[in-house]
Structure 1
């Protein structure tokens, strides 16, 4: 049973003709892009932007025409995945390395739809290491500042062993905090570190989550209000 595929296809049902749509990045967003491509072939007309070079390539392969960001304005919705989500739809994202572009796109969307399998739904965030995008300059200082927050830090590597470089030319520090008791406080502490470009805590941004279950069902979690005013 492909839980990710089921969740993604349920979310894609929310896309209507004429919408402006953000395309997320990752293994679950992959299935959303595939299904959107099928709907486009069936006659769906949308404008779309992608959150990574990988998603751009996938969208084009599936017949989805991408619109330059400066031409599209605000988005109706974005469909993206998550590495963890809690009952308040607070998220950890960035396992795919696109957290900065994903957060920019989510901020400029009227709705953020999250797709995930049941393993990503947790009672508290923190088992998944928190990705933090940092600039290359003085990375050792930024690394040390992150450690002072009480986490274990590991710079992400590519399969070949080289430092992983984001689409924006930065590095990813994967920070193991354990259970994050106050995501809001941690968010503020991370924002106070020069050298941190962005972090993978998405708080008050998600509107609806589609959770694929092993029995083939898809649970829908909705938030009626969110903190992001766009």
Structure 2
């Protein structure tokens, strides 16, 4: 199966999971990226079951609305039974690197509210040690160089993310992203706490303190369901 086919497989599996486990009339948290898009497309068939969704990005909001799914502001919602999103990497504990699409801050906010975090990914995203995929850090622009020095001090190589036109990539929050190469992250929770404490960091793309509860992993033999210990 191609990677796109695997994404569609786990997107459908996530829609099936939500339909089986989330009560009618609920609001669903939805992530950002190509795998999350497959989930949105699959969920559209049963959209009548739900009041709507909370979105983690401008792009996801647009896709939900294209399917006629109502999008709520998180401030309007009292509870979120589930959050479904992809990952750039996920380890055996359910810790993830996310933010390849640039939506890490809003993704982390929505995930923090959800009762259950369902990660949907293809088997290539499962790793023993996080860090092969560059670690995104969303930063206030004036702090970019200072944070870059801190990254270098812990052995990372910071690279400013740029848009197609060569200018700095700007997030939905009006901030910039440093992609950090060269890290082997043996203590994701610890590193998440350290980087989040640096002045000028909006958030780091480590989802370890609040990792996945469940992973629907697309493999050549079908979708594996992996459950992680509660954090």
TM-score normalised by length of structure 1: 0.93
Instruction: Give the number of equivalent residue pairs.
Output: 223
| Corresponding residue for residue 76 of structure 1 | 81
**Is the 8 Å Cα contact of residues 117 and 212 (structure 2) preserved in structure 1?**
yes
1:212 corresponds to? 218
Gaps of 5+ in 2: none
Aligned pair partner of 2:15 in 1, 12, 16:
12
Q: C-alpha deviations, 1:56-100, integer Å up to 9, x for none?
A: 000001111112322212211010000000111110000000000
Q: Hey, which of these two has a bigger chunk of helix by percent? A: 2
Q: Select the residue among 164, 185, 188 that pairs with 2:169.
A: 164
Distance of 2:104 and 2:148 partners within structure 1: 18
Q: Contact between 1:83 and 1:92, CA under 8 Å: does it hold in 2?
A: yes
Shifted more, 68-77 versus 17-26: the winner is 68-77
1:104 is paired with a residue whose SS is helix
Q: Is the 2:31–2:85 Cα contact (8 Å) retained in structure 1?
A: yes
Change (3 A) 1:68 1:138: closer
Matched, 1:155 2:137: no
- Summarize the alignment of residues 85-100 of structure 1 with structure 2, pairs less than 5 Å apart: 85-100=90-105
How far 1:46 sits from its partner (Å)?
A: 2.9
2: CA distance, partners of 1:9 / 1:87: 23
Q: Is the 8 A contact 2:74 2:110 kept in 1?
A: no
Q: Give 5+ residue unaligned stretches, structure 1.
A: none
Stretch of structure 1 that moved more, 1-10 or 137-146: 137-146
CA RMSD, Structure 1 to Structure 2 (Å)? 1.3
Q: Is the 8 A contact 1:38 1:62 kept in 2?
A: no
CA distance in 2, matches of 1:164, 1:52: 15
Alignment of 1:46 with 2:43, yes or no, is no
1:36 and 2:43 aligned: yes
**Which whole-Å CA distance do the structure 1 matches of 2:72 and 2:125 have between them?**
31
TM-score by length of 2: 0.92
Provide the rounded CA distance (Å) in 2 between the counterparts of 1:110 and 1:192: 25
Aligned partners of 1:130 and 1:177 also within 8 Å:
no
Aligned-partner Cα distance in 2 for 1:185–1:5: 34
Q: Which runs of 4+ in 1 moved over 6 A?
A: none
